[in-house]
Structure formats: structure tokens, C-alpha cells
Structure 1
């Protein structure tokens, strides 16, 4: 009987231990869940990064949350949906344009969404290949700020993006990073918020896969954009982008001048229909006929296709390319072949 009692006490202690472990695990889960909930319901950023959110007829809070997370305006679409469900948001949403900012919490965003549309949006489309000056001119034409204000923003304002770290605060600091896309900006948008919208859009191009590929290629983000800008300005057809990227990459590998006409046009400011030998001798760090390597900064804002072409160039031995009358390019391995192409197509 004594042995049985001792076994019973051991069994009781074992049950108590298991219960204690379960209680501890549940406590940790609650604590962990509480920490996650606190994180998920905080504003995505302290910066006033405002964007127009267009709510279309029939759009649900679930769809809005997914879009807000994609735009990096909220941290968690799941947390947004939970709050939306508590507020019965789906039955109270009205179609229209809403001004939302990354410094708003999900609850504040929902309060704004449930109050009805008040934002007045300006549609701004930035074409691929635009320079920073062209982008600023377009924004000024749309009534968003002045050139002087943009110059101040570019040269003095702080932007919390890793891809800008280590870049000097000069007039070329944001070159190439103002991503070409269509933006819906509030009529009261500031130059800083307009610029920040474009920088946040560029940040979305830096996916984990892209970062891994850049590491594999031993290429910095700015060099990636710099090279893609040359591809953007040289290629007229999407099919040629990866081939042109290959030629430029091959030249860089052997320290051969890139000799990109687009850099000369960039120096001139006003593009010429035809370049002459005197143009190719203009002294400038951006003259890729006189200097090897990449230009000091990107000469334009490249689109996704050109950025992707630099990440995945064709594997070729080509060192020359020439634009044909139809807009496509012909490629050559030697200068003699290039001269033959010139005689044939020009």
C-alpha cells in the first residue's frame, strides 16, 4: 500500500508539472500575442508619408487592408481586418478618395475611411527615363510646390531609407530613385510628401529576391539603378534591354569606356537629334566616352523592366550595339563587325 501511495504522489506531482507547463506556455502565448498586437496596430512610420487611397464601389475592408499593407502604409493587413470587423466597417464604407498616411495607426485610418471621402487627388504620371529635373518640372506644373522647395528637400531633408545611406546630400542624391509610376497625390501635398511617395514606391522594388541577386552580383543598390538608367535611356524595345545590359556589363568588366550616347544628351540638357564628334569631347564626369566606369549618379529614373534587365542580363560576348531604324538594336563582338553594322543600317 505504501508503494502505491508513493506512486500516487509522483503521479500527482507529474500532473501538476504538466499543468504548470501548460499555464506557462499559455502565458507566453498571450504575452507574445500581446506584443505582436501592439506592434501590428502602431503606425508604419513616424514620417508623414501621405497617399491617396481610392476606395471603389463594393471594395471590402479586407481588400483595403491588403492594399494598405502592399503600399507599406500599415504593418499588418490581418490586424487591420480584425479592427475593421469590430467596427463593422464593410457596411459603412463609401467609395471615393481618402488621404491616408503611414504615420496613422490602423484604427485612425479606419476612422478616416468611415467618415467618408474628403480627399481631392491630383493624378501624376512619371514616365520611365525622366530625369530628376523633369520630374520636378512635372510636379511644379501640377501645382505641387516650387523648384526651390524641391531643391531644398533633395539636398537637406532626411529620408529613412537604407538605399540612401552613404549618399551625399547634393542635388544628385535622389537621382534614379524617384520611381516612374502613376501617383494620386493630395492637392495639399508638400514637395517632401510627393518625393517620399516615389521613394517608398522604389523601395518596393527591393524585394528579398532582388537583394539576394545584388549580393550575388556584388553590386550596390545605387550602381544597380545607375546601370539600369543607362539601359532605360538606350533601349527602345523591351526585348533589347537584357542584351544592352550585357554589353554594358561586359565593358565594365574589362574597364572599357561605356560610350553611351544618352550620357552626352544628359550633359547637353537639351537633346540633339544627332551627336557630333565635338559633343563626344565635352569635359564632364558624365561623359562615358572620356571616362571609364559608371557616371557619378543615375542619369534618369529607370522602370522595372530596365532594373530587371540589369539583374538578369543576357550571357553574351558582345561589346557593341547599334540602333536600327525600326528601334531595335543589332549587336557585335568586334569593332570591325560594328563598323559593318553601321554601313548596313546607317
Structure 2
């Protein structure tokens, strides 16, 4: 019989034959499948264990390297060190200054503490007395107390001579040193050309940082630069027109008893200028006399000086102090009104009018109040 004539079916020794035999034994097939399932289960379990252990190890490494507490000292520190925080320094820069000065153990310890404390956004520039090896929280406590800033605060309305004296005192200089520096180095202070070399009006009221090497000239330059920045923010502009507004702002700062009155005082000044009326402002008169009091006598108004706005029409030749934002904005945008006179009858009671007769009654009431509360009676003519 030829191969072609052989009966159909697998060769007894072939793989197909063995498979056929196995398929014909159900018990063996079940055993084989059970063993396969067990092997797969064990493999999956081992893989899960490996992955879990790997994840735990990775998490432990990440936590240890990325989220571990930064280096920090444990207490209030020892000894003493001074750190100068400059204007505009952010928290990272402050942290770096503290770290470089040996105050904190790491920049990150300080920045983490600062970011968790809302007071940190108001850290003032200044020269701070701290200690070596302080905890980040202890250092932050010193920096967030404005009383520790050790800077120089120039209040609104201070005259240049008062600012000079404050700088002398803060820097431990002989009285008159800063004034001499202002006159000698006026050309290097950054004053605009229309200022004529005079600093009055350009020593902007603010807090200024003072470090070990701070000089009087450096402080004056910083004040003038600050003034230019703040003037631009207020929309003051430049040129002679801006200088006239600055003069008005200084008069508003000196005359108004409350910021609520700034706009109306500015309007009185502009209305009187528009009508050609003398300003008759005691603040300007006393500036020319070198006095800080607003008390004036009838004899005072006859004294010849360019700031005597009883004798000379128009504005005084320069500002009479260093005004702040509110006074500058009032001078730029006076409150609408027809007022020509004002007088502060008593604290919290400033009266404005366009009637001379009403003004006279207000002045009489002012004088009565003064007689009841003071031994000397100033005159009120506005």
C-alpha cells in the first residue's frame, strides 16, 4: 500500500499524535492547566512584590531628599551680627543675606518659615541687629517687627532742614554735616533742572534703609530718586509746571489739618491764584522766617522776605516742605468748588467759604476758641 493509500490519521510517533493522546486524557489536562495557573499566579505575585518594594524605596528616597526638613538651628542664637536688608529685597535674597551672615542654618529654612507667616510680606528695609545661629523662626520674628528695622523714617511735611538734622542724628554725624553735603553736592543728587539745585520738595517722605556704610550723600540721593519715582506714579510730570504743582502740594501739606481737607485747601489756593488774590498763608510766611510755628502777628506780615505771601502775590519761590502722595494728588486734582477762604476753628473743624463776611465770623470764633485754650492767640486771615 502506498502512502497515498494509507488510512487518514496522525503518525503514532508524531507531535500531533502525542497531542491527540493528551487531549484524550482529561485528568492529565486538568493537572497541566492547574500547574500553568499556579505558575502565572506566583509570577504575578512576585512582580507585585518587586514593584511594591521598588515604589516604597523610591518614595523613601524622594521624601528623604526632597521633603526632609531643611537645616535649621534650634534656638535664639548667640552673640550679635547686623544684617542690612536693602530696599526691594525678596524673601530668598533676605534668606541668603541671613545665611551669609551666619544667622540661619539654611536659606530654605528661612524662606519656608517666611512663606508660612503673612507678616513676612511687610519686612521693612533696614539695618537689623540679629544673632549668630538663630532658628529661622527667631530671625523672622526680629525682621517682622518694624521697630527693629533701624532705618530712617521721613514723615510727610518735613522741611529739608529737618530732614538734614534727622540724617545727622541717625548716622551719628556732627550737626550740620548733611546740610553742608546737600549744598556742596547738589549737582550730584539727581535733582531735576527746574529745582535750581534746591532739595526742598524732593526729599520724599518714606522709610529708608541705613547700613554700616551708608553716607549722608547716599541717603539724599536715594530720597531724590524716590521722589522722582513717586512723582511719576502720581502723574506729576516734569518741567516748571510740575514745580508749581509741587509748591502747591507743599502748601497743602502744611496748611491742611486733615487729609480729608487736602482737596479743598488746594482749591482755595488755585481759586485765589486765578483771581490774583494774595495767598496770605502763614505756612509760607513762617518758612521764610525760619520758624515752624503757624502763629503769626501783624508785625510778622510786614517783614520783607520772598515767602511773605501777604506782601507778594502768587506762589512762594520754592516748596515749603516735602509733601506726600495725598497732598500731591490734591494739588493735581483739587476738589471742585468756589471757596476762597478757610480756617480751622478748632481741631477737626475746618471751615471753607467763598464769602468774606462768613470768613470773618469763622475767624472770630477761632480767636474765641484760642483765648479759651491758649495763653497766646494767633491770628487767622485766610
Q: TM-score w.r.t. structure 2 length?
A: 0.56
Kindly report the root-mean-square deviation, in angstroms, between the aligned alpha carbons of the 2 structures. 3.4
Shift of 1:244: 0.2
Residue of 237, 262, 266 corresponding to 2:287: 266
2:346 is matched with 325
Is contact 2:194-2:243 (8 Å) kept?
no
1:150 is matched with 178
Judging changes above 3 Å, is the alpha-carbon distance between structure 1 residues 147 and 298 closer, same or farther for their aligned structure 2 residues? farther
| Cα-to-partner distance string for 1:12-70 (whole Å, 9 max, x where unaligned) | xxxxxxxxxxxxxxxxxxxxxxxxxxxxxxxxxxxxxxx842799x9246x99xxxxxx
Is contact 2:165-2:176 (8 Å) kept?
no
1:231 is matched with 252
Q: Is 2:357 aligned against 1:336?
A: yes
Q: Is 2:166 aligned against 1:138?
A: yes
SS of equivalent to 1:277: coil
2:195 is matched with 167
Is contact 1:122-1:187 (8 Å) kept?
no
1:16 is matched with none
Is contact 2:278-2:310 (8 Å) kept?
yes
Is contact 1:177-1:225 (8 Å) kept?
no
Q: Is 2:292 aligned against 1:277?
A: no
Shift of 1:345: 3.8
Shift of 1:267: 2.8
Shift of 1:252: 1.2
Of 273-282 and 254-263, deviating more is 273-282
2:41 is matched with none
1:245 and 1:128 map into 2 onto residues whose CA distance is 17
Judging changes above 3 Å, is the alpha-carbon distance between structure 1 residues 144 and 204 closer, same or farther for their aligned structure 2 residues? farther
Is contact 2:165-2:178 (8 Å) kept?
no
1:166 and 1:264 map into 2 onto residues whose CA distance is 23
Greater Rg by CA: 2
Shift of 1:271: 3.7
Judging changes above 3 Å, is the alpha-carbon distance between structure 1 residues 244 and 98 closer, same or farther for their aligned structure 2 residues? closer
2:265 and 2:88 map into 1 onto residues whose CA distance is 41
Shift of 1:312: 1.1
Is contact 1:121-1:186 (8 Å) kept?
no
SS of equivalent to 1:185: coil
Shift of 1:99: 8.8
Q: TM-score w.r.t. structure 1 length?
A: 0.62
In structure 1, runs of 5+ residues without a counterpart are 1-50, 65-88, 101-116
Matches within 5 A, 1:195-214: 195-207=220-232, 210-211=235-236
Is contact 1:144-1:189 (8 Å) kept?
no
1:59 is matched with 91
| Cα-to-partner distance string for 1:132-176 (whole Å, 9 max, x where unaligned) | 111111111112544554234323422474x6114333xxx0101
Shift of 1:340: 2.0
Judging changes above 3 Å, is the alpha-carbon distance between structure 1 residues 208 and 308 closer, same or farther for their aligned structure 2 residues? closer
2:213 is matched with 188
| Cα-to-partner distance string for 1:176-232 (whole Å, 9 max, x where unaligned) | 110111111113211110101111211122236604xx58xx962221211111000
Judging changes above 3 Å, is the alpha-carbon distance between structure 1 residues 290 and 312 closer, same or farther for their aligned structure 2 residues? same
2:283 and 2:293 map into 1 onto residues whose CA distance is 10
2:87 and 2:341 map into 1 onto residues whose CA distance is 46
Shift of 1:328: 3.3
Is contact 1:231-1:245 (8 Å) kept?
yes
1:79 is matched with none
1:317 and 1:282 map into 2 onto residues whose CA distance is 30
Matches within 5 A, 1:90-105: 91=108
1:127 is matched with 155
Shift of 1:272: 4.1
| Cα-to-partner distance string for 1:297-323 (whole Å, 9 max, x where unaligned) | 111111111111111101111110011
